DNA sequence: TGACCGATTTCTGTATACAAACTACCTTCT
DNA sequence: AGAAGGTAGTTTGTATACAGAAATCGGTCA
């Protein structure tokens, strides 16, 4: 929690509106008039407009010619490209971390996260433990190059619609072979960190890129094999055409 | 321009404040109280706050613990990383354009820009013509992959402080060997487009990355050889330590 | 002299008022 | 019937009022 009171209305507007949109409460193209929505969310237009600006920046909403906002419509290509970009940026973070070397503190933290992920995937799958550890891995990876600029932009990519590292974790316990898929992911986590420690920049970059493509595989599975899962992936209800 | 009247105060706040900060009107760390600044810029707090939010997002300003904003302090490493990231993203745009193929319309447009750049660099250097054409090249490159997601994020990278393709063009007519440097840049422009047309994705990516490093070379020249030039590069006045 | 405390001022977050632009609907005229 | 125009109702952009938090400053007391 950033600041509990300082920003309360704005934070509430941001969270609530983002949830509404991601959960498919609106249809792509729907206009979101400020007055109506402010009343519905129980706050004034000022913090709501701030939240709208932010969500426009994230790509979830878009501005129409007269200044109002509407819910964005995504194509599968948009999501595919967002995932690709996350891979590219995480790859860059990994490469730079390898080239520059990493701080011992971060290395230690990363080792603990990886051990935790091992425990969550070996034997019986512990999904509840896996998800937050996976988030921490990706958060650490963003910061591993020791650059605030890199960290900021990597994290930003994870906020693009359906591109976050955990975006396809929601309904995956239903995917056959899911445990094997997470084991492969964890093997990649280890390989990425190994490459970074060995100062193998190119290898680290390639591995991180490939790792992001797991999300793309899941995207393709969800849409082609089991469209009923699509509702459980936040944001996928906005895919049109 | 976008909309002349619709957003007038916000646009004015954004442009004016960005100019003030980039031109070094403030010292890094300076607080920017809303009331005072709104009065100075001749508008109300509402559009000014919008502009501040945007500039915080761009990295030019940062928020302090109590919600106010102050002017950011950059290190050389920050600028170096921002340039690196621009190279990575332009490289990705180039690679994807190569892999996916490009629309004939864009190819034609790109050919014209490259011809114009040739004319501006052969014989007597036409600096006034070069700068806007160079901007158009980078704008086109961002859109060449045919993805709005890619285009948006590539363009965003160019707005990070001192990372834009033209950031170091300001004082460069004073740099010795400047004409030769622009000829090398133009040679790279041609090579990037050639790789894209030949569907050589890896080559296109590597070339675009290397092209961005010209900015880094210029950064190092300016800071080590001729610090007096630093004042003429927008944003470089914010580099502290 | 120095530290602590309180009052005053400043600053930010939020709500709201107001005006200009836009939309939509209804009427009227050809 | 269809087009044009006007009017009422939304909707957004901007300014401003107000409350609570933070900072500042001065004074008092040890």
Q: Are residues A103 and A62 in the same domain?
A: no
Q: Are residues B132 and B117 in the same domain?
A: yes
Contact B197, B111 (CB under 8 A): no
Q: Are residues B38 and B100 in the same domain?
A: no
Enclosing domain of residue A231 = 75-240
User: What's the pLDDT tens digit per position in A208-224?
Assistant: 999 999 999 888 888 88
pLDDT for the residue A232: 81
Q: Are residues A109 and A23 in the same domain?
A: no
User: What's the pLDDT tens digit per position in B79-134?
Assistant: 999 999 999 999 999 999 999 999 999 999 999 999 999 999 998 888 899 999 99
> In the block, which residue shows the tokens 């906020």?
A159
CA angle B207, B210, B214 (to 5 degrees): 130
Q: Do A150 and B7 touch (CB under 8 A)?
A: no
User: What's the pLDDT tens digit per position in A171-192?
Assistant: 666 666 788 889 999 999 999 9
**Which residues contact residue A46 at a Cβ distance below 8 angstroms, ignoring those fewer than 6 apart?**
A9
Q: Are residues A154 and A83 in the same domain?
A: yes
Q: Are residues B98 and B63 in the same domain?
A: no
- B12: domain CATH number is 1.10.10.10
Residue where one domain finishes, among candidates A26, A52, A72 = A72
Distances (CA, A) of A97 to B59, B64, B78, B79, B131: 22, 28, 15, 17, 34
What is the chain B residue with the closest CA to A157? B153
Q: Are residues B35 and B94 in the same domain?
A: no
CA distance, residue B78 to nearest chain A CA (Å):
6
pLDDT for the residue B174: 62
Q: Are residues A97 and A194 in the same domain?
A: yes
Q: Are residues A98 and A169 in the same domain?
A: yes
* C1 C1' to A177 CA distance, Å: 76
Residue where one domain finishes, among candidates B72, B103, B127 = B72
Is the C-beta atom of B10 closer than 7 angstroms to strand D? yes
Residues 50-69 of A with CB under 7 A from strand C: 50, 65-66
Contacts of B148 in chain A (CB under 8 A): 78
Q: Based on the structure, what is the number of domains in chain A?
A: 2
| A contact set with B (CB within 8 A) | 6-7, 50, 53, 57, 59, 66-67, 77-78, 81-82, 84-85, 88-89, 92, 96, 145, 147-150, 152-153, 157, 160
> In the block, which residue shows the tokens 């994807």?
B96
Query: Residue B62: beta bridge partners?
Result: B70
Mean pLDDT, chain A, rounded, equals 92
Q: Are residues B127 and B147 in the same domain?
A: yes
Q: Are residues B115 and B178 in the same domain?
A: yes
- A163: domain CATH number is 1.20.120.530
Q: Are residues A79 and A119 in the same domain?
A: yes
Is the Cα dihedral A234, B85, B55, A137 positive or negative? positive
Of B6, B78, B145, the CB nearest to A149: B78
Contact A158, A212 (CB under 8 A): no
Q: How far apart are CA B129 and CA A198, in angstroms?
A: 47
Is the C-beta atom of B49 closer than 7 angstroms to strand D? no
Confidence of residue B169 (pLDDT cuts 50, 70, 90): confident
């Amino acid at each position: 929690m950033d600041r509990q009171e300082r920003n309360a209305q704005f934070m509430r507007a941001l969270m609530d509106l983002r949830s509404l949109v991601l959960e498919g409460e609106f249809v792509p193209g729907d206009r979101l008039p400020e007055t109506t929505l402010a009343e519905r969310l129980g706050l004034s237009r000022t913090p709501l407009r701030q939240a709208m600006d932010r969500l426009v920046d994230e790509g979830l909403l878009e501005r129409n010619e007269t200044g109002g906002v509407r819910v964005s419509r995504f194509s599968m290509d948009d999501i595919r490209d967002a995932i690709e970009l996350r891979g590219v940026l995480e790859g860059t973070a990994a490469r730079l971390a390898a080239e520059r070397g990493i701080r011992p503190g971060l290395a230690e933290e990363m080792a603990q996260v990886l051990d935790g992920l091992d425990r969550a995937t070996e034997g019986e799958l512990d999904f509840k433990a896996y998800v937050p550890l996976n988030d921490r891995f990706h958060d650490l990876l963003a910061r591993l190059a020791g650059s605030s600029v890199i960290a900021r932009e990597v994290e930003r990519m994870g906020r693009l619609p359906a591109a976050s590292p955990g975006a396809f974790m929601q309904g995956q316990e239903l995917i056959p072979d899911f445990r094997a898929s997470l084991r492969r992911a964890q093997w990649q986590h280890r390989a990425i960190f190994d490459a970074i420690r060995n100062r193998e920049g190119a290898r680290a970059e390639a591995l991180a890129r490939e790792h992001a493509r797991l999300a793309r595989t899941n995207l393709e599975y969800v849409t082609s094999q089991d469209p009923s899962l699509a509702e459980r992936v936040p944001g996928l209800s906005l895919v049109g055409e």
